[in-house]
Amino acid sequence: MDLALLRTFVTVHRAGSFTRAAALLGLSQPAVTSQIRTLERQLGRPLFLRQARGVTPTTIGDELAHKAAPHLDALVEITETGLDADSSLRTLHLAGPPEFTAERALPALTELIGDDGHGFALRASFGNAEETLEGLAAGHHDLAITTARPRGALLTATPLCDEEHVLVAAPRWVARIGSDTLRGRGAPVLENLPVVEVHESLPFIARYWASVFDSLPAASGTVIVPDLRAVLACATTGAGLAVLPRYLCGPALERGDVVALSEPPVPPLRTYFLVVRTGTLAMPHIARAHEWLMRAAAGWS
């Protein structure tokens, strides 16, 4: 059986779409369709059910993918390991949220670039979870960091770390908000307080209020800026209350630039996932970056 046909088949199986598989393989959609039909003729059985949106594997298709995919991934690993000695051939394309990628992921990965000729080149791009996963699925990225766990067989997600959220404000707001809130006895009345957020929907404030105070905040953003580092800068100058990841606002808390307005016994958490296209961990430079980030995340607090 032609390995090229099997490779196309496994890619379609993981992608759930001839169109997406064609993009990942660098082929035209008619070429992918033709290869799948050829394989189906050779086997004498249909491998996919065509639907309005993509394809669904038949029982035979699932069985063949289960048997063939590990061997194809192993062949890729053998081939790629031979090429890995030449770092000039290896560029890692990373995507993720701007703040976490800049503050956590990139400092960790730059240690892998190295000056001994055995590292790899690194290209990073920023985006929200939907944009990042779409780019990864389309083959634009090798590795993605996201707060959304993807569905389907095309992408494989591994929990990377949890991010603790903290309600903060400049010290001058403490007296106005009241000591009861600081002791965790109640939610600040946001109608009378300015809020700094990343979006008009107040995603961080709303999530915090639901988790800690079991209520919805009645407020509108005073300052809306689509970067958590800018949110911290505004909160530090006294622009209003903000909910921020502890890793980002920790140094400001230690300096006293901002104070934590609530210390709940169970703080709100958000999970980050490290995502790859299924099978691509057979490529040494992607596997190395994946392993390195997982190791680094074990020490993040």
Tens of each residue's pLDDT in the chain, 301 residues: 678 888 888 888 888 889 888 888 888 888 899 989 999 889 888 999 988 888 889 999 888 988 888 888 777 766 665 555 554 557 899 999 999 999 999 999 987 876 554 567 899 999 999 999 999 988 899 999 999 999 888 899 999 999 999 999 999 888 777 654 554 555 666 667 889 999 999 999 999 999 988 888 877 778 999 999 999 999 999 999 999 999 999 999 999 999 998 888 899 999 999 999 988 888 888 998 999 999 999 998 7
Residue 193, helix vs strand vs coil: coil
Quote the tokens at residue 116: 């001994």
Rounded Cα–Cα distance for residues 16 and 154 (Å): 7
Which residues have a Cβ under 8 Å from the Cβ of 48 and sit 6 or more positions away?
Answer: 12, 13, 36, 55, 56, 57, 58, 61
Residue at token pair 């598989």: 21
pTM as predicted = 0.77
